[in-house]
Amino acid sequence: MCGRFVSTTPPDELAKYFDAAPPAEAALAPNYNVAPTTDVYAVVENESRHLEAFHWGLVPFWAKDPSVGNRMINARADTLATKNAYRQAFKRRRCIVPADGFYEWHKIAGHKVKQPYFIHRVDDEPLAFAGLWEAWKPKGAEDDEVLRSTTIVTTDANATMSVIHDRMPVILPPSKWAEWLDPANEDVDSLAGLLVPAPPQLLTMHPVSTDVGNVRNRGAYLVDAIPESQVVGSGPEAR
């Protein structure tokens, strides 16, 4: 799964990295602890490729209330073609959610507190999460009241991730960006073939402060590695 990530790269740099036009709206603030229901950047393509801000938590076009998106921050790769909430978006409304890294929590036997880890590319370039997007508006609302929302697609964990969790975001390589973003591509069988675990050597990870569990904490220190003595399950009580 992916429930928290880091987004600090300026939007103009992200746009250049993904060969997209920068967003027209004001830049989102750098955030080392991006949480569901906040606004995040996503790369989309229609007549051109561009970077936009989206609400994190997919709100299907048929939803009666936007709160349904709170339960749709992630979408399992194996259900995109069949689940009603994702089927149409998978076919026609795909995006890339950029991230500088993400967090995952490891359950330690005998401990109530889980140990968070920060996962990022070994070369520290941005990650390209496969995503879906939707446009929703209340009945009778004006066009400028449309809520654009997104979800991050997840798949089985690779060898690097599997030691702490059994799921991970789908990370698309640059060679697959155009295929994934192309709105004219409705070959869901071929698209499903892109939704595989990233190569293990792409990622590295280290334990970080449990402060990341509080969404009010957004500072840069959250991605710093903590000493072994502070890792859950490694203190004197573990011996």
Measuring CA to CA, which residue among 173, 218, 162 is closest to residue 6? 218
Q: Give the residue numbers marked as catalytic.
A: 2, 104
User: How far is CA 125 from each of CA 7, 29, 79, 180, 227, rounded to the nearest angstrom?
Assistant: 12, 19, 29, 19, 25
What is the DSSP secondary structure assignment for residue 169, as one 8-state letter?
Answer: E
Query: What's the rounded Cα separation, in Å, for the pair 99 and 151?
Result: 13
Domain range list for the chain: 5-238
Query: What's the rounded Cα separation, in Å, for the pair 51 and 44?
Result: 6
pLDDT at residue 233, as a whole number: 86
0.85 surpassed by pTM: yes
5-238 in CATH: which number?
A: 3.90.1680.10
Q: What is the pLDDT along the chain (239 residues), one digit of tens a residue?
A: 799 999 999 999 999 999 999 999 999 999 999 999 999 999 999 989 999 999 999 999 889 889 999 999 999 999 999 999 999 999 999 999 999 999 999 999 999 999 999 999 999 999 999 999 999 987 766 666 799 999 999 999 999 999 999 999 999 999 999 999 999 999 999 999 999 999 999 999 999 999 999 999 999 999 999 999 999 988 554 43
pLDDT at residue 237, as a whole number: 46
Alpha-helical (H) ranges within 20-86 are none
Q: Let me know the angle formed at the C-alpha of 96 by 93 and 101, rounded to the nearest 5 degrees.
A: 150
pLDDT at residue 235, as a whole number: 59
